[in-house]
Amino acid sequence: MINAYRSNGSVTALTPAASLTHLPDDIVWIDLIDPSPDEDHYVESLLGIDVPTRDELKDIEPSSRLYVEHGSVFMTASLVWRAESNTPRLTDVAFILVNDRLLTVRYADPKSFSLFIAALGRAPEDNGNGRSLLAHLLETIADRTAEILEQAIARIDHLSTDIFRDRETRRPPKFLEAKLADIAECHRLIGKVRDSLGSLSRMLTFLMNAQAITCDPGLSSLCSTVARDIATLSEHAGFVAANISFLLDASLGLINVEQNAIIKIFSIASVVFLPPTLVASIYGMNFAHMPELGWTLGYPLALCVMILSAVVPFFFFRWKGWL
């Protein structure tokens, strides 16, 4: 799908079957969404450049992601996609400045694009060319990444409250084991966010040195502000990742404590019942001459000795605080 946005914020859908052979001057942004080969060739004929394919967008080499060719600036960044789901992903998006127009190529729909498109008509004076559009789009992407981090922090706080709940409240069976899966999901999301911020930081460093931005002091200042925001978000994402690691270690530690408590109960039970077993074993011997066997009170006395030998260790363990 090809969407062409004019400087006033309106959108026009383009198709290869259209008779349009050149772009009107007021079209400042062309957004390619999951384009077909025919749509790629059509945009290439309109702009006179090679549109990156899906495989080319996946190239992780910085030299292949950031370059200038025939006066056009080619940049590729990884954005977080499906952040609200249990399986967040990264999607590669190409940003190309050509003839003072912006061309974006993407094979997913990150929410930051929807937010930016919804706000296009509010300040058309800020989006009169592709350079300005790109700067403000990157600003929206940074704001969206900050929102994802805030949602992740709120989820981590909720997890922390559940994990370190009141000790007097008994946890349901397999409670902590289930929380490990939630912690893993948070860790996966923060990992994707950090990867995205790293690619955006490299892209902005490259963009701020491009002639298309350095010639405009206002845009250069805006890009510098966005770069500082991304650096701050990267530091904050590192702090959040450390908190997740702490929660993981704490959960594993609490699981070990619960398992040790169960083992301790079995160990103490075996020790408590050991003396009565010894008494019963002695009086179960088949010797011919055992004086106690002839006593009238021998049987109740043996029972009392067994009960006493079990009760004394129990209260001794309670006194020591082992139970």
Helix axes 175-208, 130-163, angle to 10 degrees: 160
* pLDDT values of the chain reduced to their tens digit, one per residue, 323 residues: 888 777 776 777 777 666 666 777 778 888 888 888 888 788 777 777 788 877 777 766 666 778 888 888 888 888 988 888 888 888 888 898 888 888 888 888 888 888 888 887 676 566 678 888 888 889 899 999 999 998 888 888 888 887 777 666 666 667 777 788 888 888 888 889 998 998 898 888 888 887 777 777 887 888 889 889 999 998 998 888 888 888 888 888 777 877 777 777 777 777 777 778 777 777 777 666 777 777 777 778 778 877 887 787 777 777 766 66
DSSP conformation letters of 61-104: -HHHHEEEETTEEEEEEEEEESTTSSS-EEEEEEEEEETTEEEE
How high is the pLDDT of residue 166?
A: 63
| Residue of 155, 157, 143 lying closest to 80 (CA atoms) | 143
Instruction: Tell me whether strands 27-33 and 66-69 are parallel, antiparallel or unpaired.
Output: unpaired
Residue 127 has a pLDDT of: 65
Residues 6+ apart with CB under 8 A from 93: 57, 76, 77, 78, 79, 104, 105, 106, 110
Q: What pLDDT score was predicted for residue 232?
A: 92
Locate 70 and state its tokens.
């025939």
End-to-end CA distance of the chain: 69
Distance of CA 283 to the CA centre of its chain: 66
- The full length of the chain comes to 323
- Strand extents, DSSP E, 7-156: 11-14, 27-33, 66-69, 72-81, 89-98, 101-106
Please list the helix, strand and coil fractions of the chain in percent, rounded to the nearest 5, in that order: 60, 15, 25
pLDDT at 168 (0 to 100): 62
- pTM for this structure? 0.76
What pLDDT is recorded for position 49? Answer: 79
- Residue with token string 């990444």: 145
Contact indicator for 16, 39 with CB cutoff of 8 Å: yes
Q: What is the model's pLDDT at position 164?
A: 79
Place of tokens 């909720």: 158
